Each structure stands twice: as C-alpha cells, then as structure tokens.
Structure 1
C-alpha cells in the first residue's frame, strides 16, 4: 500500500487526459466506460458523489486499462464485450467488433421474418447478426432457426459462446462460404469482408491493426465476396427467400447489379443513420 487516495473524479480526469494525449477520438467517453467497467459505478452515482474513494486495486487496474487503450487497443478488446441491438456480446481479437451501422441489417431482416423461417448467416464472426435476429424473433414467437458459418474456427468459438449466453436456436459450422452448407433457407444475411485491400492501411489503428484481416479484406475492388455469395446463394434459398447484405457506402449500385444479374427481384438499398447506403437486399422468387 502506498497510501495514495484515488477518487472517481481524479481517476476519470487523469484517464481522460491520458487518452486525449494519445489522440483517442472519444477520450472522455472511453475513460468513462473503463471507469464504469472497473468500478461498477453508474453515472448517476458518479455525478452525485464524484469524490467517492476507489479501492487501490481497482484504481490501479483502471489505470492499466487506460494505458492499454492509449496504445490504440480497441475498448471492446479490453472489456471483452460489445452491446449490439441491446444485447451483450462477447468479442475478442478473432472477430470484427459489432458496429451500430450493422443494426440496420438486422432491423431490415426483422421486417421480413415469418414463423418457422430458416436463416443462414454467412461470415458470421461473433454471431451478433444471427443471434439478434433469432432473439428478437423469440419475442414475436416466430420459432426461427439459424445457421452461422465462418471460415475461422476461432471466430466460431466466440459465436458459440454468445449462443450459450443468449440461448437461441442456432448452430455454427466451419465453412468456406457455402462449402459445408447443407439444405435450403428462407433468408440469407451477410456482412462479408468488403474493404478494398488498398484502403485497409488508411483505416483507424484500432481497425487495421486489431480487427482480423480476413474480416476486412474484400480484395481489389471490395466486391469479391459479394460475387461469390450471390452466385451460389440461389441454390440455397427457398422460393421467395431473401438475401440481405451489409455494404460499404459506395457499393450499393454494384451489389444491386450482382443481385439483378442472378435473377433477384424486389431489390432495395437502405441507408444508415448518416444517410449512407448500408444494406442491399433482394428476393428470389424462382423455384
């Protein structure tokens, strides 16, 4: 014991200052999240009693996490979790951290679910898309079932743990796209790698150095995986089945054209909260 007194206020202030010096964009927010994570203190308690003392062990652990975040390690890799669609998901360096933008994909899928649907999640990663659809389907008593596939066994471990937490009717299989997929589905959802290879080096450090490369790299033009998935998808969809993709902001027209060329109809592009193209979907009405 060194006898030093730590309070919520001085920990938060020092944490914020360190992150600001490190160039962390949301320094105040991240400093707060880490303080909440380490102490379990709510914002209301902090505002009412900012000079409350913090145990030395917790304070030092907080300071260690601040130093880690200052090295541009993603906040979610420090806490090991990320909220998505109001649900809590485990994440680590083996999966893409769920983004708020991807919630648009889930919301559009939920508008189209029907009872007893079979849903396939291609490039499932943490499983957050499939698990969210199934969990919200439960609330509507839809009795949905899902399969998530990914080429990464390490990502599948995370997805299976999230499934254990949420208890949905999902299974997760290792598959290079459709290679190990059996049967037909009523809906395919996918957030495939879609960043152009040359653009990855220009992404934030938290992304380009800490998200898995295979979850980012969409090859030369960013459309590589869309081409493969769209081409094979029609063999795995029941008549009237839907396909929904997350896309990059400038890929809506190209992915829509891919769907059209394979016979998809009712093709739509949906925007995110920033007004950028974020989701492309279509329906396959042939036998």
Structure 2
C-alpha cells in the first residue's frame, strides 16, 4: 500500500446496540454479577465509544476487529475471568492502574485507607525526617495505595503539596513489583520499590506505614467468588489460619522502621477490627481508631506509636 492510500476496515453490519444487548444477555445467562455494567465496560474498552456517543448513535456499525474483540471479551467474562483482567485496567482514587493476574485488583473499599492516610498527613501529625515525609507500603501489589497517596498528597496535600515526600513499596512478588513499577512510570509518580518479605530489604524509618495485607482465613479461600478464588494471586489473599498472621508480624516487626509518633494503618476484613486493634494496643500503639467503608463495615484500623 502506498503512503497516500488509506485502507478502511470493513464493517460487520452488527450495530453497537445489538452487540451490547447480546453481550448483556449472555453474561446474565452465565450468572455474571452486574451483567449490564460489564457488557458496557467491555464494549467501551473495545470500541472506545463513550456513553454519550453510544446513546446518540446506537445504530453505528462495528468493524470486523471490534466485533471479534468484543466476542472474545464476552466469552472470557462468561468464564468468570475478572473484567479488569480482560481490560487490563482498574480505576482507583480517580487514577487508572494497570492490573494483571499477578496482583490483587484494586477495590473501592481500599480507598478508605488512602483517605485516612491523606488526612493524617494533611493534619501535620505525621512525623518527618529532616522535613521529608517518608511512607512505606507493605504488600504493595499494583502500587495503588502508595501511588495514589503520593499523587493526591502532592496535588492538594499539606503545605500545598510542596512538602518533600519519599515513598517505598515492598512486596514478596517480583512480578507484582513489575506491575507497580509500570504504574508508577505511567502515572509519572516517583516511588521506590523493593522485593522482600515485609520489612526485609527495607531501610530507614517512616512516619507512615500502610498495608493491605493478606487477611482471608485459609479455610475460607475456596468459598470466595470465582473471580477472586480462581484469578487473584492466592498469596495475596491467604492470611493463614485465623487471618491475622500478617497483622501480628507487622505490629511486631515495624518498630525499628516506625518513627516516634509515627502511624501504622491497616486495611482489615470487616470482622477483624477488634482483633487487630487489640494487637496494636498490646504492641504499644495509642490513639487507635477504626474507620468504616461506604457500606458501613469496619475497613481500616490505625494507631500511633509513641
């Protein structure tokens, strides 16, 4: 083909509205939760058509490649492959993160942890090191907690976002760290990532330590929704026998890495607030608080070491 020539892809004759309706019905028949939303998100991902354009032109024809891609996406979702693994992205705290089977899919509940961390940093209560706020995110996964915290702190945080901040994410999985680094680069957020078992290979102390550790009881893993049980990395879910294994370790091992007056903040399972708060209390933490998510369930526990 000469440079001046254009090749327009052939249309299939299938209209956007028809494809969406068929996709929705197939997902519904397969027992997929929220089939309407998933069918739409997949259509939008494949075609790039916004909702406004769709409602204005539902009769617009799809190209052959779009039709084939949408068919493939619907087939995968019917097999209960998570929507985010099909599209490759998930929004969190207003930012778009790449996800894969190597990391937990960021969930809205976890935004409560980031919001509480931002409140603490914005209040001036978090200690700094030579004027720099240092934050550590354990079990960082996709990096969504650390990176969104750094992004929003800079954008509208303390001192107009001008305060120097150093962020480190730690994870045992090298492949998860690869995803986190890719997200940091994509979002242009400077952060450091280290591979290790919790505090292994972490150096220095921090005014703020955040973590959404594995907290599902081992016996409950096989009863989880298929999208989670089959596709989320098991090591990111398994909190051992009682679900508290990593909370115990972090509370016990954090002291050399937590500045005086520093905060330790956890995401928790909705029935773990009392147990985690008790672990922190016995570990020397003060001013322990529990925060609920939008559903009214306990979701975050944090305290200050002094």
TM-score range (shorter-chain normalised) is over 0.9
Query: Post-superposition shift, 1:56?
Result: 1.6
Match of 2:261 in 1: 240
Match of 2:53 in 1: 45
Bigger drift between 34-43 and 139-148 goes to 139-148
Q: Distance in 1 between matches of 2:214 and 2:79?
A: 25
Q: Distance in 1 between matches of 2:12 and 2:202?
A: 59
The 4+ residue runs of structure 1 with deviation greater than 3 A are 1-4
Q: Distance in 1 between matches of 2:191 and 2:68?
A: 40
Q: Size of the alignment, in residue pairs?
A: 285
Query: Post-superposition shift, 1:208?
Result: 0.4
TM-score for the superposition, normalised by structure 2:
0.91
Match of 1:34 among 30, 36, 42: 42
Equivalent residue runs for 1:185-264 within 5 Å: 185-264=206-285
Task: In structure 1, list runs of 5 or more residues that go unmatched.
Answer: none
Match of 2:301 among 275, 280, 284: 280
Match of 1:124 among 109, 129, 140: 140
Query: Post-superposition shift, 1:143?
Result: 2.5
Match of 1:102 among 110, 115, 118: 110
Partner SS for 1:11: helix
Q: Distance in 1 between matches of 2:85 and 2:253?
A: 34
Partner SS for 1:209: helix
For residues 29-69 of structure 1, what are the alpha-carbon distances to aligned partners after superposition, in whole Å with 9 as ceiling and x for unaligned?
Answer: 00000000011101111111111111121111111110011
Taking only aligned residues, the RMSD between alpha carbons, in angstroms, comes to 1.3
Query: Post-superposition shift, 1:217?
Result: 0.2
Query: Post-superposition shift, 1:3?
Result: 7.7
Q: Distance in 2 between matches of 1:149 and 1:107?
A: 20
Q: Distance in 1 between matches of 2:213 and 2:173?
A: 13
Match of 1:67 among 55, 60, 75: 75
Contact 2:288 / 2:303 at 8 angstroms: preserved in 1? yes
Q: Distance in 2 between matches of 1:24 and 1:143?
A: 45
Match of 1:155 among 164, 176, 181: 176
Greater C-alpha radius of gyration: 2
Task: In structure 2, list runs of 5 or more residues that go unmatched.
Answer: 1-8, 125-130
Q: Distance in 2 between matches of 1:152 and 1:3?
A: 44
Query: Post-superposition shift, 1:144?
Result: 1.5
Query: Post-superposition shift, 1:169?
Result: 2.6
